[in-house]
Structure 1
């Protein structure tokens, strides 16, 4: 199947190891709703349920309940602290997304950048068909990219406020 992706990068003024430890097994596990909010035509994370293990352990999975009333299944694919984290999203219950998207995959890279960290987030959608991918492309390349930028900015602001001096 065809895929379409979006990528964002940012520099966060927090060292890599503390940032990863705060974000991946912390914020991403129990506070996802604070960084992935509804916007740009996409629902936000509202709450999670059925988490099977720590959020930095491959194979752990959960259900994310979204602000539009739909759910998705998210599973940790890889976690290599403090460098890399990836996950897969499936089982879309939103009828439009279910028709368009077979699977989505997110990947995060964390690299030293002076006293801080450069984060790079790639999100890739696998369309259910070539037509679905064609329809997804402008929404992902523009609107979902803005959604991702907003999420990374929330992470950056929180990390720099909460981890300053740690």
Structure 2
């Protein structure tokens, strides 16, 4: 899928990264987050809509090339495609074709999740890398970024809570 990658070397992007720890192993954290119900963790916050559901998923979310359409609570949608998947360790995806305000800010986003051993638990690293439209980088990197960081942290906190509910194995 390298010929279809949204972000390439030399692109001036705006990465936003959040971290969280969980007492679960990387394998357990990965197994909970990959199939998680997006509508349960992406709730409306501030200027951002939540996710109402997902449509058109072409197969199980477990290999590069699978795609789906997240539908947002404001009636908009995007196209999401899994670009990388390493069982138990991490995955990456691209979001494009936004029909909301993000369509006026960025040509797309690359999301990446890593599940890193942290003693008996896991350090989760989640990055959203925005590819701003020409002339919009200042807006994405400036006033937009701290708001989006809070939105990501709230969603990640809900995901970690779901991981912590899994019985120890």
Task: With the length of structure 1 as denominator, give the TM-score of the two structures.
Answer: 0.91
SS in 2 for 1:54: coil
The yes-or-no answer on 1:60 pairing with 2:66 is yes
Corresponding residue for residue 23 of structure 1: 33
SS in 1 for 2:75: coil
C-alpha RMSD of the superposition? 1.2
Corresponding residue for residue 123 of structure 2: 118
Corresponding residue for residue 104 of structure 1: 109
Q: Structure 1 pair 139/69, CA: closer, same or farther in 2 (3 Å)? A: farther
Moved over 6 A (4+): none
Shift of 1:107: 0.3
Q: What is the distance in 1 between the residues matched to 2:65 and 2:128? A: 19
Q: What is the distance in 2 between the residues matched to 1:118 and 1:155? A: 13
1:151 aligned to which of 149, 152, 155: 155
5+ residue gaps, structure 2, are: 1-10
How many residue pairs align between the two structures?
Answer: 159
Task: With the length of structure 2 as denominator, give the TM-score of the two structures.
Answer: 0.90
**Aligned partners of 1:14 and 1:164 also within 8 Å:** no
Corresponding residue for residue 138 of structure 2: 134
1:46 aligned to which of 49, 52, 69: 52
Shift of 1:141: 2.4
2:78 aligned to which of 72, 75, 82: 72
SS in 2 for 1:71: coil
Shift of 1:40: 2.8
Q: What is the distance in 2 between the residues matched to 1:123 and 1:70? A: 19
Shift of 1:138: 2.3
Shift of 1:140: 3.8
Tell me the alpha carbon deviations over residues 119-139 of structure 1, each in whole angstroms, 9 at most, x when there is no partner.
00010110111x211111124
Corresponding residue for residue 16 of structure 2: 6
5+ residue gaps, structure 1, are: none
